[in-house]
Amino acid sequence: MTWFLPGLLLCAMAQAVLLGPLSVWGIRPDLFLLLVFLVSQRVSPEAATGLGFLIGLCQDGLSGGPLGLHAFSDSLVGFLAARLSHHMYTDKPLALFWILLGGSAAAGGITLALLAFFLGPRLVLPALFRVIVPEALYTAAVGLLILCLPQIRAALTRPT
Amino acid sequence: MSLLLRLLARYRRAVILTTALVLSFLLMTLQVRHESGVVTFTRQALLFVVSPFIKVTSATIRGVTGTWRDYVDLRALREENKRLQLETTTLKRRLEQLQDQALETQRLERLLAMRQASRAEFLTARVVGKDATNWFKTILLDRGSLEGIRRNQPVLAPDGLVGRVVEVTPSSARVQLLTDPVSAVGGLIQRTRVTGIVSGNLGAGARVRYLPLMADVAVGDEVLTSGMGGVFPKGILIGRITSVERKSGALFQEATLQSAVDLSRLEEVLILTHLDVREGFESGAGSQP
């Protein structure tokens, strides 16, 4: 886990600066959430909760939203992903995509619920179609690409 | 004591998860009612630590993009005659540089014209980062409290209003864009002098809320800051009305607004640092497209 802090810093840089030109209709993939997924596959649920909290806190610090918003969803997602990591283990890209999509959508749903609770009722449908679904799709696609990189590389270097 | 420790060890998963969730919830609760010292300190410390990296990354990307562009140009031209290639590359690069310089000069001239048109004092800053989530619309500037930036100072572009400063560290500042879902700006329809509240939206654009039901509001109307609320001076162009909604049974009508400034392509902004002078915007450059 020596890569955690450099990974977190890289995520912060990418999310704040690099992903701007890659945004589609103003939506960027949530790299912090992908980091939570990656971390939770390698540590215990207790550690995944703590690290998820830290990642979320960092994301909140770099955002205009209230501190604790993503810390809440990321610690919960981290815990669940680590707890269910044995059941979620798969090398099938489509299954992996659906897992990432579900996790990202769940994190979006939790964020929306918290925003509605603290900042007043949000419009559910606009949030669903303009933020949660596109963000989940984009995050799942990028996550799939990152997780399948070793397979892609192996396929490319395999002797014919 | 040992029993408590044994219980904690036995239920450590639930304890850690509950602690993390309660702590997050508590942090959010502290910020809802009023500014909390702990939260402000944590945010500023995080931003203080990360903003130098963001600035360096932003500068590096600008450099790498330039180098990459040069590299691509060179590769494309290699197939052509070498003498012509060299000449073309040099000319092309020079032209690009001049075009970039011309565009930058144009932008800076407009910023300068705006500064001179109003008697207020401005500070120019470069945009170095964006919000880390898709839920909020904020940007990060490369200037902070050391240069005189304070919270709630209005931020403008040559075409109109951008937002306000919400967070400041010694070397950086976070600006809440007017399209942020939690942003609210007092607005005034220039043609009919009807007032409303311009607030952000999840997704692109903004809405003008609380417009009186019988008020004359039409597509294309320009919306300016009303000066109410004490943060934004009166008369800065916010945007133009793109559609008006009058729902039956509603007490107010609402309108969607297209921001006068392209907030997704901001590179430099002006921060209004002197708030004593709050007049002359409506006839000045700030309200002109």
Same domain, B67 and B193: no
How many residue contacts between A and B have a Cβ separation below 8 Å? 153
Q: What is the mean pLDDT of residues B157-162?
A: 87
Same domain, B136 and B90: no
- Cβ–Cβ of A71/B27 closer than 8 Å? yes
Return the amino acid letter for B224: L
Domain boundary among B73, B97, B117: B117
Judge whether residue B182 has pLDDT over 80: yes
Neighbours of B57 (CB within 10 A): 20
- Higher pLDDT among residues B286 and A140, named by residue: A140
When CB atoms are compared, the residue of B43, B54, B203 closest to A17 is B54
The Cα–Cα gap between B24 and A67 comes to 8
**pLDDT on residue B241:** 92
Whether B84 and chain A come into contact, CB under 8 Å, resolves to no
Whether A113 and chain B come into contact, CB under 8 Å, resolves to no
When CB atoms are compared, the residue of A53, A76, A114 closest to B28 is A114
Q: What is the mean pLDDT of residues B2-9?
A: 80
Range picked from A66-70, A155-159, B5-9 for highest mean pLDDT: A66-70
CATH of the domain at B247: 2.40.10.340
- B152 vs A contacts (CB less than 8 Å): none
**pLDDT on residue A32:** 92
Give percent above pLDDT 70 in chain A: 94
- Cβ–Cβ of A64/B25 closer than 8 Å? no
Task: Report if residue B241 sits inside a domain.
Answer: yes
Task: Report if residue B82 sits inside a domain.
Answer: yes
**pLDDT on residue B281:** 57
Judge whether residue A160 has pLDDT over 70: no
- Cβ–Cβ of B27/A27 closer than 8 Å? no
Q: What is the ipTM of this complex?
A: 0.81
Using CB atoms within 10 Å of the CB of residue B92, give its burial: 0 to 12 exposed, 13 to 18 middle, 19+ buried.
Answer: middle
The Cα–Cα gap between B269 and B254 comes to 29
Question: B114-153: per-residue pLDDT in tens?
Answer: 666 666 778 888 888 888 888 888 999 988 888 889 888 9
Task: Report if residue B167 sits inside a domain.
Answer: yes
**Mutate: best of A17, A24, A59, A79, partner B, most B CBs <10 A:** A17
Whether A102 and chain B come into contact, CB under 8 Å, resolves to no
Q: Residue B79: pLDDT band by 50, 70, 90 thresholds? A: low
When CB atoms are compared, the residue of A13, A52, A69 closest to B57 is A13
Range picked from B99-108, B184-193, B200-209 for highest mean pLDDT: B184-193
Which tokens in the block code for residue B274?
A: 């002197």
Distance of CA A135 to the CA centre of its chain: 10
Range of the domain at B84: 34-117
The Cα–Cα gap between B168 and B144 comes to 6
Domain boundary among B117, B140, B170: B117
Judge whether residue B245 has pLDDT over 90: no
Same domain, B161 and B261: yes
Give percent above pLDDT 90 in chain B: 12
- Cβ–Cβ of A64/B58 closer than 8 Å? no
Return the amino acid letter for B210: Y
